[in-house]
Amino acid sequence: MRNTWVLPSALCLLLPLLTACGSDDGGGDDGPSSYAGKTYLLRIGAGDFGPGIGAEIDPDGVPEFALKVDGSGSTYDVTVGTGYTPDGGVWAQEMCNPTTHVPATSNPYPGFSLGPIDLPLYLKHPVQDASARGTAYQFTLTNVLLAEGTEGTGTLSAILDAREVYPVFPQLGVGADGDTMCEYLANNEIDTCKACPSDGALYCLTLTATYLGAPVSDITLQETPGFADTCFFN
């Protein structure tokens, strides 16, 4: 049972800044009310993706998103990078993926909203020598950061351009391109390519993931321009 301590009124006059004066308003020891000053690691499993293109993604090839949150209160500057954690290993940053600075807010905490933004993205197949330079258009994260005592209820959404990402889908076969990918998805009743936000061409696919939660992590995220020539296979 919690005791409520109320200071005598005379003492309250001397110490007007004490929140204990008069009554207990619940302040003081309620824990953090901001995500600033921490780094979070978002892992997305195969079962987190919604129907459509997500079903075709090799879960071992899905990058883990590192979110370094700076700022104060409920207004943040988030540095976004990616990396991978091998089985039984330690997380390693993907230096081929550029780090990006993105504004975000939590209004109110523990809510969290980032995007929509166009996020540069480096994709690499986990086994084969295949990689791609792309953009996650209208990339959005909602309520993915885990406050103490909460569970993962966050969501991710983004739009991918088949003309950019097809190289990391080996099931398309040799000589594939964006048209091959759209035809494959349509013929197998997996997804339908729609108009792209960049140019209106019918090559884009919406990717969604749900029930996400990114805990606080002790990883270190370094600034990197990414997309070096050595990142890509001929």
Q: Where are the alpha helices (DSSP H) in 6-148?
A: 9-14
Is the domain of 185 the same as that of 199?
yes
Question: Which of 16 and 196 is assigned the larger pLDDT?
Answer: 196
Is the domain of 71 the same as that of 175?
yes
Question: Which of 210 and 51 is assigned the larger pLDDT?
Answer: 210
- Once rounded to an integer, what is the mean pLDDT over residues 191-201? 95
Q: Which of 169, 154, 164 is nearest to 211 (CA)?
A: 154
Q: Which of 77, 214, 43, 53 is nearest to 134 (CA)?
A: 53
Is the domain of 66 the same as that of 140?
yes
In which domain, by residue range, is 163 found? 33-231
Is the domain of 133 the same as that of 56?
yes
- Write down the pTM of the prediction: 0.83
Is the domain of 152 the same as that of 109?
yes
Is the domain of 24 the same as that of 76?
no
Q: Which residues contact 208 (CB under 8 A, 6 or more apart)?
A: 49, 50, 52, 54, 155, 156, 157
Is the domain of 120 the same as that of 157?
yes
Is the domain of 25 the same as that of 97?
no
Is the domain of 196 the same as that of 155?
yes
CA distance 131 to 230: 11
Is the domain of 18 the same as that of 104?
no
Answer whether residue 66 shows pLDDT above 70. yes
Is the domain of 213 the same as that of 195?
yes
- Once rounded to an integer, what is the mean pLDDT over residues 178-187? 95
When divided into structural domains, the chain yields a total of 2
Residue type, 75: T
Answer whether residue 96 shows pLDDT above 60. yes
Is the domain of 112 the same as that of 5?
no
Average pLDDT, whole number, for the chain? 85
